[in-house]
Amino acid sequence: MFTILVPVYNEAEALDDLKNALLDYLKIAALPTMVLFINDGSSDESLNLIQSYSESYKVFQYISLENNRGLSTALKAGIDHTKTEYLGYIDADLQTKPEDFNLLLSFLPEYDFITGIRVNRQDSFIKKISSKIANTVRNWFTKDGLKDTNCPLKVIKTNVAKKIPFYKGAHRFLPALVMLQNVSVKAIEIPHYRRIKGYSKFGISNRLGTSLIFCFIYLWMKRNKITYTITKQD
């Protein structure tokens, strides 16, 4: 089975469209699928909407954080509560579409982690530039070979996801953090769409500062990772 994680922070305007898109996807999903909304301390009507969806549809569940803790924490909470063999992640803004999960799922079980690469980005100039700068900085440090590590459409084996070391800002480094486990990673191109409702919560300031700090943390983790091989056992 497959669980789709949907972190939500003040996305009330977009949630009805997202709910409908997810219901449409469930009709064609490559695997039996459920959806787990993670309310990240929203101050708008997001939680009320998520609760109503969960009451109306058995395939929808939710958890709600006491206050806003950021995307990495929301993802960590969702992963901790996932019980299916596979999980995926999508943003609530519908700039990536649920139906494209099937493109990623087609590479299971051969790969442990499959991530999208957004083509024809439909973002503002500022968001495109900030994303490009952040990806360039991350790639210089991590050497993960991926040009769009922050694409909000991913599929991962749950047992791999539960071993990811999460810190603030870790969501921007998921492929590199997964690679610390010496597992197989695949990146494929997916369509990208213009945000119709709501607004982005990220920009240059909250991308680059945290990302740069985490680059140094990642290097320390990579260099000090504990590995060993057992040659004899009694």
| CATH class of the domain comprising 2-223 | alpha beta
Asked if residue 128 has pLDDT above 70, the reply is no
Q: Residue 210: which of 137, 106, 117 has the closest Cα?
A: 137
More confident residue, 121 or 78: 78
The whole-number pLDDT of residue 233 equals: 75
Asked if residue 209 has pLDDT above 60, the reply is no
Share of residues in the chain with pLDDT > 70 (%) = 74
Asked if residue 204 has pLDDT above 60, the reply is no
Our measurement of the distance from residue 160's CA atom to the centroid of its chain's CA atoms, rounded to an integer in Å, reads 14
Lowest mean pLDDT among 2-6, 76-80, 140-144: 140-144
Let me know how long the chain is. 234
The whole-number pLDDT of residue 135 equals: 62
Domain residue extents for the chain: 2-223
Tokens of 175: 């492929």
Q: What are the CB-based long-range contacts (under 8 Å, 24+) for 157-160?
A: 157/85, 157/86, 157/108, 157/109, 157/112, 157/113, 157/183, 158/3, 158/79, 158/82, 158/83, 158/84, 158/85, 158/86, 158/87, 160/112, 160/113
